[in-house]
Amino acid sequence: MSDSQVNLGEFAEAERICGWILDLCNKEDRPVAMLELCERRKKIGTLGPMLWQSFGAVSGILQEVIDMYPAVSANNLDDQQSQRIFAALGLFLSMAKHPSTGVVLMRTQFLYFLVPLLNLTQKTRPIEHLRLSVLIIICGLLKRNTTEIICYTIAAELIPQLLRQLELGSSMCKILSSFILYRILDSAVGLKFATRRLARRTHLIHTLGRVIHQQTLEPDPRILKHVLHIYTRLADNPQSLEMIQLHLPMQLRNGFFCLDNFPIYDTVKSDLQALNQKVAINPINMHIEEAFYSIN
């Protein structure tokens, strides 16, 4: 194939992409345009800025999500509707994770239209994928982890939703929710907000305790890692530290998660030691069996 043929092919593809972006403004043409763009989003590095800078594209994608609300709420998504809303969320992800469009997209308050999808309690596969898609979009926003983005996630009342998913969601929802929660708390603004009031501290620390109990029954090293980091970060706040000292689960004190037959991640022992030292509890004994059986 000659260079001229390659260039003509690239030009034709660019024209199709621009045409699909323009079609996002048209309700009749929007479903096909979203699907075509979503299929190519990994190959188009500048798709986020292209969507953002195209008149009516963002509002068209958002309208598509809103139009699906009745079917989503009734847990009655058919295959075509599922394709449309997932394509819309995929295009939002392209904008959210791009360094030049993530913050400006956030300023449109678009997340307020997506967070309600985390409220859904149905356990069906399409609804579960919706929750995961929204959490992935939030992860894309937090790639920059600026104070403005942290404040935005707080204002959108995301923390209660994350705690709900962390306790009741699927394994992947718990992994993403614990990661997002840690990213929020890792900032000074996020930690201050989450620990300022007794009710918030109590909700947070008691939820973490229940998650640790779940981990003894259905262990997942990825969830455990994020939860340990959350505990350690919360211990930087004096009021939270006092509560953690009273309510830190015994499994985090006695080396339960370091037992030989327990699925762990590489740095679990050092993370547990750091947590115990920070909360002024005797560091766990690395002779795990002695430490574990001494309390029985």
Q: What is the domain count for the chain?
A: 2
Give pLDDT tens digits for 124-182. 888 899 999 999 999 999 987 789 999 999 999 999 999 999 999 999 999 999 999 99
Q: 184: phi > 0 → left, psi -120 to 50 → alpha, else beta; which?
A: alpha
Q: Are residues 139 and 2 part of one domain?
A: yes
Domain closes at, from 116, 144, 172: 144
Comparing CA positions, the residue from 82, 21, 85, 83 lying closest to residue 53 is 21
- Is 251 a domain residue? yes
- What sections of 24-67 are H helices per DSSP? 30-40, 47-53, 57-67
pLDDT, average across residues 95-123? 89
| Placement of tokens 């469009």 in the chain | 101
| pLDDT at position 60 over 90 | yes
Nearest by Cα to 134 from 96, 191, 183: 96
Largest CA distance in the chain: 77
Assigned domain for 149 exists: no
Q: Would you say residue 73 has pLDDT above 90?
A: no
Mean pLDDT of the chain: 88
Domain assignment present for residue 51? The answer is: yes
CATH of the domain at 279: 1.25.10.10
For residue 256, the enclosing domain spans: 158-296
Q: Is there a domain that residue 151 lies in?
A: no
292 has pLDDT over 70: no
Integer Cα distance of 267 and 258 in angstroms: 10
Residue 57 shares a structural domain with residue 169: no
Q: What is the pLDDT of residues 75-93, one digit of tens each?
A: 888 888 899 999 999 999 9
Residue 150 falls inside a structural domain: no
229's enclosing H/E stretch is: helix 221-234
> Among 144, 167, 188, which residue terminates a domain?
144
- Average pLDDT value for residue range 206-216: 95
Question: 279-288 long-range CB contacts below 8 Å, 24 or more apart?
Answer: 279/235, 279/241, 279/244, 279/245, 279/248, 280/245, 281/245, 281/248, 281/253, 284/253, 284/254, 284/255, 284/258, 285/255, 286/255, 286/258, 288/255, 288/258, 288/259, 288/260
Question: Does 153 map to a domain?
Answer: no
Domain identity same for 96 and 8: yes
